[in-house]
């Protein structure tokens, strides 16, 4: 994917271009403030205003990232956005299992009969004793 397209999708928080692993890798390799400052000073000091294509891929990548405000925060938001749908799906499945289990417990005739038997047995065992 061309670097400008990557930056455009990042600015738009477009989750159709990158997957979660790619975004996590971008976060990992995101330049620190010190690295960006160093590159900025290097470019300004050398007076380089030529074609970015003459720079190495890493330098091109860093220069493009420098133009995106709060790039690491945007990458983290994009990562969350990508993972959110799958997490919601997993939670829905878990809640459906819990709802089904609770409905089974509530509607179980056999469980109701067992609980009534246990209550009757407990009442019979406690008959004649007083509570303190």
Mean pLDDT across the chain, nearest whole number? Answer: 85
Nearest to 26 by CA among 68, 87, 86, 85: 68
Q: What is the structure's pLDDT at 8? A: 81
CA separation for the pair 10, 81 (Å, rounded):
12
Q: How many CA atoms lie within 13 A of 131 on its CB side?
A: 1
CA separation for the pair 103, 106 (Å, rounded):
5
Q: What is the structure's pLDDT at 49? A: 66
**For residue 132, pLDDT beyond 70:** no
What's the pTM?
0.62
Q: In whole angstroms, what separates CA 17 from the centre of its chain?
A: 17
> Which domains does the chain possess?
3-126 (1.20.58.2220)
Are the C-beta atoms of residues 81 and 13 closer than 8 Å to each other?
yes
């Amino acid at each position: 994917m061309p670097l400008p397209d990557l930056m455009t999708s990042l600015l738009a928080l477009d989750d159709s271009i990158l997957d979660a692993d790619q975004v996590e890798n971008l976060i990992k390799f995101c330049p620190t403030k010190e690295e960006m400052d160093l590159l900025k000073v290097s470019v300004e000091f050398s007076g380089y205003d030529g074609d970015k294509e003459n720079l190495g891929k890493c330098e091109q990548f860093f220069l493009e990232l420098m133009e995106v405000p709060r790039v690491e925060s945007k990458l983290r938001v994009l990562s969350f956005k990508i993972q959110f749908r799958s997490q919601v799906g997993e939670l829905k499945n878990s809640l459906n299992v819990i709802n089904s289990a609770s409905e089974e417990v509530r509607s179980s005739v056999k469980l109701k009969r067992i609980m009534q038997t246990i209550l009757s047995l407990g009442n019979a065992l406690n008959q004649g004793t007083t509570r303190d």
